[in-house]
Amino acid sequence: MSKFEEGERVLCFHGPLLYEARCHKVNTEGEVDLYLIHYNGWSQKWDEWIPETRILKFNDTNLKKQAELIKHHKKTQNRGKNKKLKFIENVESEDAFSAKVCVQIELPSQLKLAVLDDWDLITQQRHLLKLPAALPVSVVLDEFRVYSLSVNKTSDTNRDHVLEGLLGYFSRLLGMQLLYKFERPQYADTMEEHRGVSVCDIYGTEHLLRLFTRIGELLAFTELDNNAISVLQKYIHQLLSFIELHRGKYLSSENYFVATPDYLRRAAL
């Protein structure tokens, strides 16, 4: 029996904070129950299927937890250092947050299919990606930089800043938000084996695409003006077009392998 019901009022983790939401549908067909969540006051484009680990009952105890997280988040952001993209000082209401989010990243159709295939291979078919990737994120972005330079015949500091920022985001978010639960034992093993190596030099395009499915919501916590947003969108979409054009090189079913029985036991713990 599922823990939450259709139509139930709940609190859901979205990034580091809890937001009021409502459970619209329940899917119990897979190994893990999934819930279609609508965040109150947000556009339907933010509706998403999430596991129960990101959902809490709507009660006084969890409302107190929500307030504590907001308080902690404000303190953390005020202490933040080394921010090229300055984080906002005050946590916004859901309506204000929704209104602020205007970074729309649309994946090309073939890359959308690649993201879905990736989800299926990892979560349903119990495959893993070969690590380190033959073409890690750092190489993909560098090859895009070279390609862009050859096309435009000129250097572009805005492009280079965007690519540098993407490397930073990927490094910080990979372990926290870009892995499926099934991949976490592999992540722990890989980080132990390759101590001191950036995840940008280990993980590849499949995980980079996962970043682009979430980057719009993550950038809502920054003080980007409209011009900066336009620049960001421009180069991310150029990068996505480049990846789609060369998807045979960067995305392949040969990048995956079937997890061993020993790994399956560890992942089930």
For residue 132, whether the previous peptide bond is cis, meaning omega lies within 30 degrees of 0, is: yes
On the question of pLDDT at 82 being above 50, the answer is no
117 vs 101, which has greater pLDDT? Answer: 117
With contact defined as beta carbons under 8 Å apart, do 246 and 135 qualify?
Answer: no
**Above 80 in pLDDT, residue 88?**
no
Give 148-172 as a DSSP string: HHHHH-S--HHHHHHHHHHHHHHHH
Q: What is the pLDDT of residue 30?
A: 65
Question: What is the overall mean pLDDT for the chain?
Answer: 84
Model confidence at 31, pLDDT cuts 50, 70, 90, reads low
- Chain segment 210-231, per-residue pLDDT in tens: 999 888 777 665 667 778 888 8
158-190 residue pLDDT tens: 899 999 999 998 998 898 889 999 999 999 999
At residue 74, the pLDDT reads 73
Q: Report, as an integer, the average pLDDT of 206-212.
A: 96
Per-residue pLDDT, averaged over 79-99, amounts to 42
Question: In this model, does residue 3 exceed pLDDT 50?
Answer: yes
Q: How far is CA 228 from the centre of its chain?
A: 20
- pLDDT for 140 equals 97
Say which range, 23-27, 76-80, 94-98, 110-114, has the weakest mean pLDDT: 94-98
Token pair 């490397």 in the structure block, residue: 167
Tokens for 174, please give them.
Answer: 């990979």
How far is Cα 162 from Cα 243, in angstroms, rounded to an integer? 16
Write out 168-232 in H/E/C secondary structure.
HHHHHHHHHHCCCHHHHHHHHHHHHHCCCCCHHHCCEHHHHHHHHHHHHHHHHHECCCHHHHHHH
Quick one: pLDDT band at residue 236, thresholds 50, 70, 90?
very high
CB 248 within 8 A of CB 207: no
More confident residue, 225 or 118: 118
pLDDT(131) > 90: yes
